[in-house]
Amino acid sequence: MAETASKNTADNRPRLLLMDGHSLAYRAFFALPAENFTTAVGQPTNAVYGFMSMLANTLRDEAPTHFAVAFDVSRKTWRAQEFPEYKANRSKTPDEFKGQVELIGELLDAMHADRFAVDGFEADDVIATLATQAEAAGFEVLIVTGDRDSFQLITENVTVLYPTKGVSELTRFTPEKVVEKYGLTPQQYPDFAALRGDPSDNLPGIPGVGEKTAAKWINQFGSFAELVERAEEVKGKAGQNFRDHLDAVKMNRVLTEMVRDVELPKTPAELERAPYDRTAVTGVLDILEIRNPSLRERLLAVDPGAAEAEPPAPAAGIELDGAVLGSGEVAPWLEAHGAQPLGVMTVDTWSLGSGTVTEVALAAADGAAAWLDPTQLEEADERAFAAWVSDPARPKVLHNAKNVMRVFPEHGWRLEGVTMDTALAAYLVKPGRRSFALDALAVEYLGRELAPAAASDGQLAFGADDRAEQDALMAQARAVLDLGDAFTTRLKEVGAAELLHDMELPTSILLARLERHGIAADRAHLEGMEQQFAGTVQQAVKEAHAAVGREFNLGSPKQLQEILFGELGLPKTKKTKTGYTTDADALAWLAAQTEHELPVLMLRHREQAKLRVTVEGLIKTIAADGRIHTTFNQTVAATGRLSSTDPNLQNIPVRTDEGRAIRRGFVVGEGFETLMTADYSQIELRVMAHLSEDAGLIEAFTSGEDLHTTVASQVFGVEKDAVDAEMRRKIKAMSYGLAYGLSAFGLSQQLNIDPAEARVLMDTYFERFGGVRDYLHRVVEEARATGYTETILGRRRYLPDLNSDNRQRREAAERMALNAPIQGTAADIVKVAMLRVDKALTEAKLTSRMLLQVHDEIVLEIAKGERQQVEEILRHEMANAVELRAPLDVSVGVGKDWESAAH
């Protein structure tokens, strides 16, 4: 926020706001930690976020009528030609910053804001030109920049807003403020800057001459030119140093002066602010995963078209005839409107395996809409509503239908007839987006803004007594219905209609049942594990203190840095803004490089602390029925994989002793005999063999021998019995790595070998398995041409960054292009297998039931006497889920707990 926001001038002069894009973006980059602002694909957005926050606040506080942003093009400017050392001392632009200026530009374009970048000139020169022209045309001018050289532009009509605290506080520099701070006028500032020098620009200063001396000389002689003319009059050693460096300060003076006549495509009068393309703005923010409601509200609030946009005018055909249904009114309303497709929205709660529905809104395409409180239904209304809910012939359109399918049985209702789930449809159309909130989708696909905003769970929170809020919930239901129509068309365009109806919707029905089932938990075992990990954590603390010789806070990166690199003098790790990194990779490197025990103790402390938190989370989620009811997510992973939350079961380590011990806390429930687990052996590699059609790799699978040993013998050119453990380890890491888009450098890091050795290993692998090499090359090029990758069942992953000019974004997209068809196909196969197994269990009228799906593993609870039949179903249905050139291999295990049932 500006120090003191100025008010519009009395004569209503136009007000031009100019921003130095690079200066402010760079400041924002260092003000906000990149690790807290990174998208799912690894694109940092901290500079974007900070810049847009400053922009929103400044537009709000200053209310300019005209606006533009200036950017640097490169360091090849007229100043660098005059003085080759200009800015030559600046370090390489951080990789995390690269590409963010381009993203800021995309947002500015969506805001219909003008931006300038001129070859050979800096943003300063563009700003100086526009400010000079604007002042001459009678404008009031405001300049936001972190470059103090801009102070030379300050006049009674030109003010500089200078960031003095990150990106949140601006100090207002007027002529009086410059005099107060420097004892000079703005016109004298370039003279002062020339004498002072500027280390950031690599402009040399005069030894022994600081800001006070420089200001004193300018005041004494009146100007830089006069000072040079009378250089011999300057007394003392400082005077001699000035004369010795006269040529350098003369060059400084040339370079410090801003150019005021850059040729630009627009005049200040043509920079009048225009209404945003609000759909484009929210779309870019969604892509960048900037979901902070405060920033969005501030940014949209300063839209010049906001007055027209709020409240939004209803789109044609969405006028609602809404009714709040009371006693005896639900059955007649459903009789009149329930045969046509209805949009459905609910307000519900769900926690620890139980919940309730407190509000329901329904909306039809003919404008009819209804709100009801399902807890207040009389008997006839209850029967009518239950009959409509369970009738598969009554079409229903929902957003996040699984949540409703999960909670409706609490009232004795079984939801049938869901023809469209708009969250799942949006996921299939654009799987890369991080949020599928109803309000964002309505803006993007309907051009309709909904209020109030969606709650964090995707549902809406309203008070049952407020008619305005009841009307709003009905409007949400209508938006869901209209989105259903929009997505019906979009799904056909992207070839995903069958995926929705044949895979994703049936999977959501199954997952809702799994969430209601939950899995039994052994509380005593888990509490014992928690105490064990707590003890191990405390022991690690004691040993770390003993290793150092004093107590310190193991959770403090600063204290740890001081000890590791100061007191102990261990080798320096990667330098970050806050010092040398002490993350897990750095500690592992230190443990390998040195014999000191502290890095090893720190790794153990962090690992045990994390396990303790995991177990504590599990204990807290044990419901009254003694079971843990996780929530499965279908729209988080862009590849199609399922994930889970509350608790996140994928957080439990699979291959460690501690992880296996935790899994023993998941047990068979009362009334059942055992748990059974099943998963696919090497499914990603089998999919890669199928997609690449590599004969050698397919043969390795069909030979019946150990895959990695067979492949290693071919790559290393030795007999199979000569393949040692290290050879097998290298081939296994590379085979799986290729399925994840691993590079030679990544392989070298994973195997702790030289990158050149990793490249040779990879080249040799590709010589033996040329089909894999050709496939990996082909899939990227095809995706670059079409814009997307595709699984064997037609799931698309759109990757527009494959053609980006930004190397970081392009390479990330290339890795996704390698990964998505393999991972996506594996995810599709698991979903098909789950549906086939569930259908077979139902048709066989078995009591055994599916409980979990974690890391491609399916966990079932087996009723007494059904073990053999269920195993036969699992093996048959999973093996035949799809037909691959490298046949699917299924592993099955049984036991009283999850770990014992491992295979």
Tens digit of pLDDT for each residue in 701-712? Answer: 888 888 889 888
**CATH number for the domain that contains residue 563:** 1.20.1060.10
Same domain, 435 and 554: no
Q: Which residues pair with 576 in a beta bridge?
A: 579
Q: Which band of pLDDT confidence, cut at 50, 70 and 90, is reported for residue 347?
A: very high
pLDDT beyond 90 at 546:
yes
Amino acid found at 717: G
* pLDDT value for 7: 41
Q: What is the mean pLDDT of residues 15-25?
A: 91
Same domain, 494 and 554: no
- Packing angle of the helix pair 21-31, 100-110 (nearest 10 deg): 120
> By the 8 A CB rule, do 897 and 522 touch?
yes
Q: What is the mean pLDDT of residues 195-201?
A: 63
Q: How far is 889 from 706, CA to CA, in rounded Å? A: 13
Per the prediction, the chain carries an average pLDDT of 86
Q: How far is 257 from 242, CA to CA, in rounded Å? A: 20
* pLDDT value for 80: 58
* pLDDT value for 313: 42
Q: How far is 462 from 476, CA to CA, in rounded Å? A: 12
pLDDT digits 0-9 by tens, 351-366: 999 999 999 999 999 9
Cβ contacts of 777 within 8 Å, gap of 6 or more? none
Q: Single out the residue in 762, 786, 820 at which a domain terminates.
A: 820
Return the number of other C-beta atoms located less than 10 Å from residue 596's C-beta.
Answer: 16
Same domain, 551 and 509: no
* pLDDT value for 841: 97
pLDDT beyond 80 at 228:
no
pLDDT top residue among 313 and 628: 628
Same domain, 465 and 563: no
Q: Label residue 185 left, alpha or beta by phi (over 0 means left) and psi (-120 to 50 means alpha).
A: beta
Q: With CA atoms as reference, report the closest residue to 141 among 278, 289, 2, 19.
A: 19
Same domain, 561 and 508: no
Number of folded domains in the chain?
4
Alpha-carbon radius of gyration of the chain: 33
Q: How far is 107 from 2, CA to CA, in rounded Å? A: 23
Q: How far is 516 from 353, CA to CA, in rounded Å? A: 6
Same domain, 559 and 509: no
Q: What is the percent of the chain where pLDDT is above 90?
A: 48
pLDDT top residue among 167 and 883: 883
pLDDT digits 0-9 by tens, 33-84: 776 787 766 678 888 988 998 899 899 888 999 999 999 876 666 665 655 6
Same domain, 475 and 400: yes
pLDDT digits 0-9 by tens, 550-591: 998 888 888 898 999 989 999 988 877 667 888 888 898 898
pLDDT beyond 60 at 126:
yes
Q: Which band of pLDDT confidence, cut at 50, 70 and 90, is reported for residue 93?
A: low
* pLDDT value for 538: 93
Q: Which of 82-91, 250-259, 274-283, 891-900 has the lowest mean pLDDT?
A: 82-91
Q: Residue 672: inside a domain, yes or no?
A: no
Angle at the Cα of 823 from the Cα atoms of 819 and 828, rounded to 5 degrees: 145
Return the number of other C-beta atoms located less than 10 Å from residue 632's C-beta.
Answer: 22
Choose the most confident range, by mean pLDDT, from 63-77, 402-416, 429-443: 402-416
Q: How far is 771 from 695, CA to CA, in rounded Å? A: 8
Q: Residue 427: inside a domain, yes or no?
A: yes
Cβ contacts of 713 within 8 Å, gap of 6 or more? 719, 720, 722, 723
Q: With CA atoms as reference, report the closest residue to 775 among 817, 712, 716, 733.
A: 817
- Packing angle of the helix pair 278-287, 293-301 (nearest 10 deg): 160
Same domain, 112 and 162: yes
Return the number of other C-beta atoms located less than 10 Å from residue 350's C-beta.
Answer: 20
* pLDDT value for 246: 66
Same domain, 365 and 510: yes
Q: Residue 554: inside a domain, yes or no?
A: yes
**CATH number for the domain that contains residue 729:** 1.10.150.20
Q: Which band of pLDDT confidence, cut at 50, 70 and 90, is reported for residue 638?
A: confident
> By the 8 A CB rule, do 400 and 421 touch?
yes
Cβ contacts of 280 within 8 Å, gap of 6 or more? 109, 110
pLDDT top residue among 660 and 168: 660
pLDDT beyond 50 at 312:
no
Q: What Cα–Cα distance (Å) separates residue 771 from each residue in 166, 629, 690?
A: 53, 44, 10
* pLDDT value for 861: 98
Q: Which band of pLDDT confidence, cut at 50, 70 and 90, is reported for residue 311?
A: very low
* pLDDT value for 10: 42
Q: Label residue 216 left, alpha or beta by phi (over 0 means left) and psi (-120 to 50 means alpha).
A: alpha
Q: Which residues pair with 350 in a beta bridge?
A: 355
* pLDDT value for 477: 95
Same domain, 500 and 551: no
pLDDT beyond 50 at 314:
no
* pLDDT value for 518: 96
pLDDT beyond 90 at 381:
yes
* pLDDT value for 315: 46
Domain of residue 395 covers: 327-518
* pLDDT value for 436: 86
Return the number of other C-beta atoms located less than 10 Å from residue 584's C-beta.
Answer: 12
pTM flag (> 0.75): no
* pLDDT value for 142: 95
Q: Single out the residue in 473, 497, 518 at which a domain terminates.
A: 518
Same domain, 589 and 702: no
Q: Which band of pLDDT confidence, cut at 50, 70 and 90, is reported for residue 385?
A: very high
Return the number of other C-beta atoms located less than 10 Å from residue 342's C-beta.
Answer: 27
Q: Residue 331: inside a domain, yes or no?
A: yes
Q: Which band of pLDDT confidence, cut at 50, 70 and 90, is reported for residue 654?
A: confident
Q: What Cα–Cα distance (Å) separates residue 366 from each residue in 317, 360, 478, 852?
A: 8, 19, 10, 42
Q: How far is 224 from 230, CA to CA, in rounded Å? A: 10
Q: How far is 176 from 183, CA to CA, in rounded Å? A: 9
Q: Single out the residue in 587, 610, 628 at which a domain terminates.
A: 628
pLDDT digits 0-9 by tens, 468-496: 888 889 999 999 999 999 999 999 988 99
Q: Residue 103: inside a domain, yes or no?
A: yes
pLDDT top residue among 404 and 33: 404
Q: What is the mean pLDDT of residues 618-631?
A: 96
> By the 8 A CB rule, do 178 and 202 touch?
no
Q: How far is 413 from 390, CA to CA, in rounded Å? A: 7
Same domain, 352 and 492: yes
Residue 290 per-residue DSSP state: -
pLDDT top residue among 898 and 301: 898
Q: Residue 574: inside a domain, yes or no?
A: yes
Q: How far is 845 from 860, CA to CA, in rounded Å? A: 15
pLDDT beyond 50 at 443:
yes
Q: With CA atoms as reference, report the closest residue to 851 among 518, 512, 509, 626.
A: 518
Return the number of other C-beta atoms located less than 10 Å from residue 854's C-beta.
Answer: 22
Three-state secondary structure of 645-702:
ECCCHHHCCCCCHHHHHHHCCEECCCCCCEEEEEEECCHHHHHHHHHHCCHHHHHHHH
* pLDDT value for 6: 42
**CATH number for the domain that contains residue 418:** 3.30.420.10
pLDDT beyond 70 at 666:
yes
Q: Residue 833: inside a domain, yes or no?
A: no
Q: How far is 719 from 701, CA to CA, in rounded Å? A: 17
Q: Residue 66: inside a domain, yes or no?
A: yes
